[in-house]
Amino acid sequence: MKYQIIVIGTSLGGLEALQVILLGLPKTFPVPIAVVQHRHKDCDDTLRVLLQSYTNSVVKEAEDKEEILPGWVYLAPADYHLLIESKDKTVSQPYFSLSIDAPVTYARPSIDVLFETAADACNQKVIGVLLTGANQDGVQGLAKIKARGGMTIVEEPESAFCSIMPAAAIAFGVADQVLPLVDIASFLVKICN
């Protein structure tokens, strides 16, 4: 299967988890990645700069109506929900949109919003990855990805900095794969190449 996008959600301890994954992906990794990392609404460009230092792929904050390019890593901007849409008939590929709708599961950006819109736009051609975190954001989104035939991956709670989010996804039965953090990148390479 040719996947259109990988969506990653993380919260507490996420920077370190994202570092492990990005360092494990080859320079030529073909599938775009969209990331929601819970962070304060007034955060600056520091997250992007740090993540860029871990990869040769382009890392940038997503912009409204931006085309999704192969191999790029996109971040949800602070205090915006990141959505993936495919309703515009003038474009052949899904694209990003941004929203300032109310927080979901106490978060904006919300992992659930990204995951659910990715499932709507890409159906079975999306991979959802839920990493370390201290709430249940992302669980409903993974359920939707799974229901649409996409692949769902959850970090093994024992390897997570904070196990609450991955444990909730496993308890809810929405994980196709439960993997230690150090094995997620190699699994993504295997299923995307």
In order of 12, 37, 93, 115, the CA distances from 164 in angstroms are 10, 15, 34, 18
Q: Where are the domains of the chain?
A: 5-192
Asked if residue 78 lies in contact with residue 41, where contact means CB atoms within 8 angstroms, the answer is yes
Tokens 């035939």 — which residue?
149
**CA-closest candidate to residue 13, choices 157, 114, 186:** 157
Looking at the structure, give the CATH architecture of the domain made up of residues 5-192. Answer: 3-Layer(aba) Sandwich (3.40)
Residue 1 has pLDDT above 80, yes or no: no
The predicted-structure confidence for 134-162, as pLDDT tens digits, reads as follows 999 999 999 999 999 999 999 999 999 99
Burial of 94 (0-12, 13-18, 19+ CB in 10 A): buried
Residue in 97, 110, 137, 163 annotated catalytic: 137
Residue 9's nearest CA partner among 38, 51, 44 is: 38
Is the pLDDT score of 75 beyond 90?
A: yes
Q: What is the pLDDT of residues 23-72, one digit of tens each?
A: 999 999 999 999 999 988 888 889 999 999 999 999 999 999 999 999 99
pLDDT value of position 108: 94
Residue 87 pLDDT > 80: no
| CB count in 10 Å sphere of residue 99 | 15
Question: Using one digit for the tens of pLDDT, what is the confidence trace for 104-120?
Answer: 988 999 999 999 999 99
Active-site residue, 11 included: yes
Question: Mean pLDDT score of the chain, rounded to an integer?
Answer: 95
137 is catalytic: yes
| Spatial contact of 138 and 155, defined as CB atoms under 8 Å apart | no
46 CA to centre of own chain? 18
Q: Which of 11, 97, 110, 163 is catalytic?
A: 11
- The pLDDT of residue 91: 63
Decide if 44 is catalytic: no
